[in-house]
Amino acid sequence: MALKIRLARGGSKKRPFYRIVVADVRSPRDGRFVEKVGTYNPLLPRDSEQRVELDIERVQHWIANGAKPTDRVLRFLDAAGIATRPARSNPNKAKPGKKAVERAEEKRMKEEEAAAAAAEASEEAAAE
């Protein structure tokens, strides 16, 4: 049985609250789980101690038994010093999309035309 340490959503609409659970990979996100090992409340401030609560001993036990944490849970475990999360780099993420590039090009062309028209007008005014 393949196990994951993942988040199971609870709480009401627009007020999320998550349980950190050990579950079979085939079970639904909010469905059956093996054990609850912590909680995550994203509505609390980042520096709050109650934002992420983990039962560290049980998490280490499940990782030793082959449970794999999801990326979000791995972030929590990295912050707690239990596991290490490798740094990721996506250099294409910051690049603008096709439409944004087209809009920027159109804007640049209009500015150049306006500057050229202003320069012509100033030359004509200086000639007179």
What is the C-alpha to C-alpha distance for residues 102 and 68, in angstroms, rounded to an integer? 43
User: Does residue 67 share a domain with residue 11?
Assistant: yes
How many structural domains comprise the chain? 2
Q: Residue 37 sits in a domain of what CATH number?
A: 3.30.1320.10
pLDDT confidence tier of residue 92, bands split at 50, 70 and 90: confident
Residue 85 located in a structural domain: no
In this structure, what are the phi and psi dihedrals at residue 9, rounded to the nearest 5 degrees? -80, 140
Check residue 128 and give its pLDDT. Answer: 66
Residue 86 located in a structural domain: no
User: Does residue 107 share a domain with residue 65?
Assistant: no
Which residue, 70, 58, 67, is CA-closest to 18? 70
Burial 4-25 (b: 16+ CB within 10 A, else e): bbbbbeeeeeeeeebbbbbbee
Residue 61 located in a structural domain: yes
User: Does residue 126 share a domain with residue 101?
Assistant: yes
Residue 88 located in a structural domain: no
In this prediction the pTM is 0.68
User: Does residue 51 share a domain with residue 100?
Assistant: no
**Measured CA angle at 106 (ends 100, 107), to 5 deg:** 90
The answer to which of 36-40, 68-72, 101-105, 122-126 has the lowest mean pLDDT is 122-126
Q: What is the pLDDT of residues 24-73, one digit of tens each?
A: 999 999 999 999 999 999 999 999 999 999 999 999 999 999 999 999 99
